[in-house]
Amino acid sequence: MNSKQKNNFHTLVHRLWRTCVKYTKLLLLVLLVACGRDQVADTQPQKWQGAEVRVESRPSPPRPGVTEFLVIVTGERGPIHDIMVSIRTDDQDQWIQAIQDGEVGVYRRAAKVAPGTRSVLQVQIKRNGAEGVLRFPLNLSL
């Protein structure tokens, strides 16, 4: 192979590589959009002591029965992980402590959901002796 053929071969391989990278990025973007449906917030965010508190459910939207909830807490400087989060769906229920998912401000727990009083997720937050309860109405998928 002479020098000109090597150069043409190199150019061809380079063009194929760029095309492959471009279509791989496009494929990843399409997959992220398709998979992102489950990560839509089910309720409007609320504030507690300067922190934003969001709730997501699995499945989304929640259906009657046992549903996993993710409580996501962020502040001005990012995730808040030095709090205790508990949830319940009825005033008569005991508070169930959520499990912290690393130190990324995400807390997980499952709770029973049903039409009526159980269609409101109550989130109790405790931090440095302060305590608050936020109520998130849930739009159930029947």
Distance CA 60, CA 121 (A): 14
Give the architecture (CATH level 2) of 40-137: Sandwich (2.60)
Distance CA 115, CA 61 (A): 13
Distance CA 81, CA 2 (A): 63
pLDDT at 136: 96
Distance CA 131, CA 133 (A): 7
Whether 97 and 124 have beta carbons less than 8 Å apart is answered as: no
Q: Which of the four pLDDT bands, split at 50, 70 and 90, describes residue 80?
A: very high
Mean pLDDT, residues 51-75 taken together = 94
Question: Within 10 A of 140 (CB to CB), how many other CB atoms are there?
Answer: 18
Question: Does the pLDDT at position 38 exceed 50?
Answer: no
pTM above 0.95, yes or no: no
Peptide bond into 137 cis (omega under 30): no
Q: What does the H/E/C string look like for 43-59?
A: CCCEEECCEEEEEEEEC
Q: Which of the four pLDDT bands, split at 50, 70 and 90, describes residue 107?
A: very high
Distance CA 73, CA 55 (A): 9
